[in-house]
Structure 1
Amino acid sequence: MGGGELMAQVLEFKLPDLGEGLTEAEIVRWLVSVGDVVAIDQPVVEVETAKAMVEVPCPYGGVETARFGEEGTELPVGAPLITVAVGATETTGAEAAGGGAAPARPDASPSSGDTTESSGNVLVGYGTGAPAARRRRIRPAAPAAPVVEQAPGSRSPGRAGGTAKDTAAPAPGRGRSSATASAAGGVLAPGRVHGATAVAQDGPVAVISPLVRKLAREHDVDLRALTGSGPDGLILRADVERALRALETVPAAPAAAAVAGTAQGERVPLRGVRGAVADKLSRSRREIPDATCWVDADATELMAARAAMNAAGGPKISLLALMARICTAALERHPELNSTVDMEAREIVRLPGVHLGFAAQTDRGLVVPVVKDAHKRSAESLTEEFARLTEAARQGTLTPADLTGGTFTLNNYGVFGVDGSTPIINHPEAAMLGVGRIVPKPWVHQGELAVRQVVQLSLTFDHRVCDGGTAGGFLRYVADCVEHPSVLLRTL
C-alpha cells in the first residue's frame, strides 16, 4: 500500500516525585476534564502536599482521555493522574495490514526521532522546569470512541476504540506494569495502581487504593489482620467492609463500650500540613534531648532605635528583622547552636551559613518558611524577605525550597499575646529562640524604679550540641543587644 495510517499515542502522566521525602499528595481541584486539549506543561491538577498547595503541569500535549482520582483523594507518588492522546505516528502499509503497530509505552522517553508531544521536563519536585527547547503543534488523533472518567486504580484503553477487558496482575519480581493497555485495550485489576504485588506480613500492607486505606483508618481496621481477596492477596474495599460487618456482630464488652462512648465526636484526619507538623514534632520529641533557658530583657532602647530608623524614611524595618539580625550576630559568636546532629556517624555538624526559619501561623496550620543566608542580609533585606514569605504562606504558595534547609528558628510567639513558651525544636535543627510580647512593666533602670518595655526571651536547645554555659552565653548576648542595640555595632 502506498500510504500510511495515522495512530495516536496514549501516554500516561503519573504523580511525579515530590522531593523532600514527600510520598503522597491530595487532589484538591482538577484543572482539566476528559476530552480537553492539554498544552505542553499546562497545569492539569492542583494538589496539596505536606509542604504546600501546588499546580502540577503535564509534560505531554494532546487530548486528555482519562483521569484518575476524585477531588479529596490521596494518591501516592507514581500513581497515574491522567492519560493523554498525543501527536500522531504514521504506520507503514505492512503495519496497517497487520492490524497496526504496538501501542506506545507510556513510560517511554521521547527521542529526537519520535513524534511524541512532550517537553520532557518532568522533574523531581513539582511538575516541570524550564520551557521545552522545541514544541511542535499538536496534531489531534482521529475521532475515537467516547472516553469516560475512570476511578482511581483503573486504566484507560491503550488506543481509541479498543474494547476494555481485565488483564492479569504482574507477577512478583517483574518490572512495573504497563501504564496503558495493549492494542485490544484493557484495564488493570481493581485496586491496583502501578504494579503492586503481595508482600510479606511484616512488610508494607498489600493495599494500594487510598480510598481503602482511608476507610480502614476511619473505622480503626487493622489492614494487616485482613486476608485480601484481590490479585496476589491485594486488600480490596470489599475486604474492609466485610471486616466491618463482622465487627458489628460481635457484642462489645463493658470496657469497650465505655471507650466507644467516649470516642464519639468529630474526627479530623492528620494529613497535609497538619499531618507533617505532627510527624516532625513527634520525631523531635523522640530524638532531641532539649532544654530551655529564659531571661527578661528591657527592650525600651531597641524599640526607640526602630522608631528612629523608620522615622528617617525608606522602607519600614520590622521588629522581627531586628531580632533576626541579633540572632545571626549571636550565632557567629556561638556556632555550636547553628548545627545538626548526625547520630549514625555520631558527629555534630556545624553549618557554615545561617538559614533562618520563622514560625508562621496560617489557615492551613503552622509552617516554618526559611530565609536563606540570613547572616548576609541587612535589617532592610530581612524585613523584605519576611514579608514575602509571610504573604506566600498565607496564600498557600510556598515552594518546597521556601520550607526546607533551615538551620535555626526564630519564634515570635509574642504576636499571640503571651510572654513565654517552651517550644519544640524544629528537627533536625539544634535550637530555637522564642520572643514574647513586649509590654510596659515595672523595671529598675539606673537604680530607680521605672516603667520600661520588657520582653521575655527563651532559648530551647539540643543538649547534645552544647551545655548550659554555651546556651546561657548565647541568650545573654541576645538580651544585651536588645537592651543596648549599640552592642551590635561591634559586629557590623
Structure 2
Amino acid sequence: MISEFRLPDLGEGLPEAEIVQWHVSEGDTVTLNQTIAEVETAKAIVEIPSPYAGIVQGLHAAAGDIVEVGSPLVSFAVEGADAESPAPTERTRVDGGGTRTGTGPADRLAESRADGPSSDLEERRVADDVRTTAAGETGRATPNLVGYGAAPTSGSRPRRRARGAGTVALDTDHAVREAAPHDIVRTGPIDLPLERPRSTPPVRKFAKDHGIDLALVAAAHPGELITRVHVEEYAEQVASAPPATPPAGVPASGGDRVTRTPIRGVRKYTAAAMVQSAFTAPHATTFLTLDVTATTELLASLKTDRALDGHKIGLLAIVAKAVCLALGRTPALNARWDEAAGEIIEHHYVNLGIAAATDRGLVVPVIADADRLDLVDLADAIADLATTARAGRTTPAAMTGGTFSITNVGVFGVDAGTPILNPGEAGILAVGALRTTPWEHQGEIALRDVLTLSLSFDHRLVDGAEAARFLTDVAGVLREPGRAMLLR
C-alpha cells in the first residue's frame, strides 16, 4: 500500500517550512524514525524522521521549496499499510523537551483523508519512546511524526541501491554546471550512488550557504568524507573557471550589481516580530556607563581556579546573574502586558533570553528558570545555547517563553544602542564593549575597565524610576561583585 506523509506542525503553530536537504531518494528503503529530510522553519532547522519503515515512492518537494503544514511531503510503499496518512487525531510536535498535543487544521485534514475508522486513528497516538500496535495489526510499530515515538524494530542500517543499480540526474542549476570545471562536473545523468554525499552538518551548511551542491564535490572525491577543505577547493575552481556565455537572445544578467535574497526563515520571523514590538510597545531607553574593573579582576581569578576547569565563565555570565538578582527587586521589568485580557502578568521566575547572531540571522534562545542557577550553571547554559544557535540547531520551543533578554553588542565593538524589545517582554539589556579608559578612581585618574549598559523598556509597564533602579542594581553587582551577596 502507498502511504502519504504530510508535513506536520513542527512547533508553535508555524505554517510552513523550507526543504533544506533530502537525506533519501526515490527507491530508498528506510527504517522507522530514520532521518529523511532537514527543513528550516522561521525559527530553526529541524530533522524530519520517517514515520514508516518502507520504500520511498516519491518526494513531493525539492530542496529549496516552501511546503505548507499539512501538504504532502513524501510517499512510502509500506507493507500492510491501511491508511494514506500517518497523522493521528491529535498532533504531536517537537518542543525541545517532550510532546505536546492539540488539534489543528492539518490534523483534521489528515484525519478526514484516512481510510480506516476513527477508532483506528485514535489507536495511532504516539508518546515519547513508546511503541504501540494498532488494532488488527501484528507487531507493526505505530508511525511517529517528528523526532521521537515508536522505536525501530531493527537496528540495521537502511538499504540503498548499489552503485550502478540506477542513475540520478542531479538537480543543479545549469549555470552552475557550466561554470564549474569540466573535469569535475558532467552534464546530463550521472552514474552516482543514490546515497547522499558523506559529510557533517557544519560542512553541509557551509556548502548550502555558498550555493554549492555537495553531490558535485563528491563526484571528485568518490567514497571520501567530504570536508570543508574539499568544498573550499571546489568553490575556488568554480570561481576561476571562465564565465558561461548566455544563450543567444538572452541578455547578460546584471547580478554583479545587485543581490536578491528571498525573505524567509529566521530573518522573516525576526523582522515581523521586531515590527510588531516597535509599533505596539512604547519603547524608552536609559544608559549607564560604569567601572567594572572589580568584575574583570574576579574573572581573571576564576580562570586560574582548578575547580572550574572545563567551565568558561565570562562577563556575560556575571551580567546574567546580576540581571536575575535585579529583576527580583524590580518585578515590573519581568512582566507582560496582556492587551486582550486587560491585565499585567508579573512573572515570579526568570526565563532569560540571550541574543545570538548566527549565519541565519538573530535568534534569542531562552534559559529557563535562570534565576535558580548559580554562576557556573549560568555560564554553562550560555555556552551551550550559543553553540547550538551557531550550528542552526536551536529548536522553536527553545526560543519561546522568555521574560527578559540580554544582547551583547560589545562583541562587535559597539558601546551602546537602543535594542528593540522581544514581543511580550518588558525589558532588554544591551551590554557594550569593554574598554580600558582613563577614569576617576578614589580621587585620582587611573586606567580602568569601563562599559556602558543600555536598557530598553516598555513604558506601559515600567516608569523611569523603576528602570533607573534596575540599572543601578545591575551596575552595583558589576562594580562590586560582592554586592551580589546582599541582593535577594
Whether the aligned pair in 2 keeps the contact of 1:40 and 1:117 (CA below 8 Å) is no
State the 1:478 CA deviation.
1.0
State the 1:277 CA deviation.
0.8
CA distance in 2, matches of 1:89, 1:281: 46
Q: Does 2:388 correspond to 1:388? A: no
Instruction: Give percent identity, aligned residues only.
Output: 43
Whether the aligned pair in 2 keeps the contact of 1:410 and 1:434 (CA below 8 Å) is yes
**Aligned partner (choices 273, 285, 288) of residue 292 of structure 1:** 285
Distance change in 2, residues 1:420/1:119 (3 Å): same
State the 1:112 CA deviation.
2.3
Q: Does 2:77 correspond to 1:85? A: yes
The residue identity in structure 2 corresponding to 1:294 is: F
The residue aligned with 1:419 is 415
State the 1:118 CA deviation.
4.8
The residue identity in structure 2 corresponding to 1:356 is: L
CA distance in 1, matches of 2:25, 2:139: 21
The residue identity in structure 1 corresponding to 2:5 is: F
The within-5 A match list for 1:73-472 is 73-88=65-80, 105=115, 109=121, 111-114=134-137, 117-122=140-145, 127-132=146-151, 265-313=258-306, 314=308, 315-472=311-468
| Greater displacement, 400-409 / 418-427 | 400-409
> Aligned with 1:424: secondary structure?
coil
The within-5 A match list for 1:6-17 is 9-17=1-9
Structural RMSD (CA): 2.9
The residue identity in structure 1 corresponding to 2:274 is: L
CA distance in 2, matches of 1:360, 1:350: 26
> Aligned with 2:279: secondary structure?
helix
State the 1:368 CA deviation.
0.8
**Aligned partner (choices 62, 87, 95) of residue 54 of structure 2:** 62
Distance change in 2, residues 1:89/1:401 (3 Å): closer
CA distance in 1, matches of 2:408, 2:460: 25
The residue identity in structure 1 corresponding to 2:432 is: G
> Aligned with 2:456: secondary structure?
strand
The residue identity in structure 2 corresponding to 1:457 is: L
Deviations 1:184-228 (A, max 9, x none): xxxxxxxxxxxxxxxxxxxxxxxxxxxxxxxxxxxxxxxxxxxxx
Deviations 1:273-304 (A, max 9, x none): 11111111111111111100001110111111
Whether the aligned pair in 2 keeps the contact of 1:433 and 1:457 (CA below 8 Å) is yes
CA distance in 1, matches of 2:403, 2:450: 28
State the 1:358 CA deviation.
0.8
Distance change in 2, residues 1:354/1:334 (3 Å): same
CA distance in 2, matches of 1:471, 1:119: 54
| Greater displacement, 29-38 / 467-476 | 29-38
CA distance in 1, matches of 2:440, 2:459: 33
State the 1:310 CA deviation.
2.1
Q: Does 2:30 correspond to 1:24? A: no
Aligned residues: 349
The residue identity in structure 2 corresponding to 1:130 is: G
The residue aligned with 2:43 is 51
**Aligned partner (choices 6, 19, 35) of residue 27 of structure 2:** 35
> Aligned with 1:459: secondary structure?
strand
Distance change in 2, residues 1:45/1:115 (3 Å): farther
CA distance in 2, matches of 1:301, 1:38: 58
State the 1:267 CA deviation.
2.1
Distance change in 2, residues 1:115/1:29 (3 Å): farther
Q: Which runs of 5+ in 1 are unaligned?
A: 1-8, 91-102, 141-145, 152-260
Q: Which runs of 5+ in 2 are unaligned?
A: 83-112, 125-133, 160-165, 172-253
CA distance in 2, matches of 1:432, 1:342: 18
Whether the aligned pair in 2 keeps the contact of 1:61 and 1:118 (CA below 8 Å) is no
> Aligned with 1:344: secondary structure?
coil
State the 1:325 CA deviation.
0.4
The residue identity in structure 2 corresponding to 1:435 is: V
The residue identity in structure 1 corresponding to 2:142 is: S
Distance change in 2, residues 1:348/1:135 (3 Å): farther
The residue identity in structure 2 corresponding to 1:56 is: I
> Aligned with 2:419: secondary structure?
coil
Distance change in 2, residues 1:469/1:81 (3 Å): same
Whether the aligned pair in 1 keeps the contact of 2:3 and 2:81 (CA below 8 Å) is no
CA distance in 2, matches of 1:104, 1:397: 33
Whether the aligned pair in 1 keeps the contact of 2:426 and 2:462 (CA below 8 Å) is no
State the 1:121 CA deviation.
2.4
CA distance in 2, matches of 1:409, 1:300: 24
> Aligned with 1:288: secondary structure?
coil
> Aligned with 1:287: secondary structure?
coil
Distance change in 2, residues 1:55/1:136 (3 Å): closer
